[in-house]
Amino acid sequence: MYESTDGIFTVQGSDGKDIECQLLFSFESELSGKVYIVYTDGSTDKDGNMSVFASAVEEYINDEDITFTAITSDSEWKEIDKKLEEYLSEERG
């Protein structure tokens, strides 16, 4: 799984600017064998809900050298949604 010592990492936005993100959790899928990360950039939508993103980890060398890929299949998104619901349920207590 992807882990960061402080949970903070940077991604490059579509405009080329760096965006600081906070790791919420990561997990390895039993179905696909891939590692996924779920994270936020701290932004909210028009209803005040936190923006949450997910990516597959393509290559992991260390906290400084990680390559993410887009998630393209519905089955992957369903699994991520399920894990996110479990995470949010635990956070709410």
Tens of pLDDT along 56-74? 988 666 655 678 888 989 9
Q: Is residue 78 part of a domain?
A: yes
Q: What is the DSSP letter of 49?
A: P
Q: Is residue 1 part of a domain?
A: no
pLDDT in tens, 5-58: 578 888 878 898 988 999 999 999 988 889 999 999 999 999 999 999 999 988
Q: Is residue 3 part of a domain?
A: no
Q: What is the pLDDT of residue 63?
A: 57
Q: How far apart are CA 71 and CA 53, in angstroms?
A: 10
Q: Is residue 2 part of a domain?
A: no
**Domain tally for the chain?**
1
Which of 78, 80, 84, 74 is CA-nearest to residue 56?
Answer: 80
pLDDT band at 2 (very low <50, low <70, confident <90, very high): very low
Range list of H helices, the chain:
74-92
Q: What is the pLDDT of residue 13?
A: 82
In degrees, rounded to 5, the angle at the alpha carbon of residue 58 between the alpha carbons of residues 54 and 61 is: 115
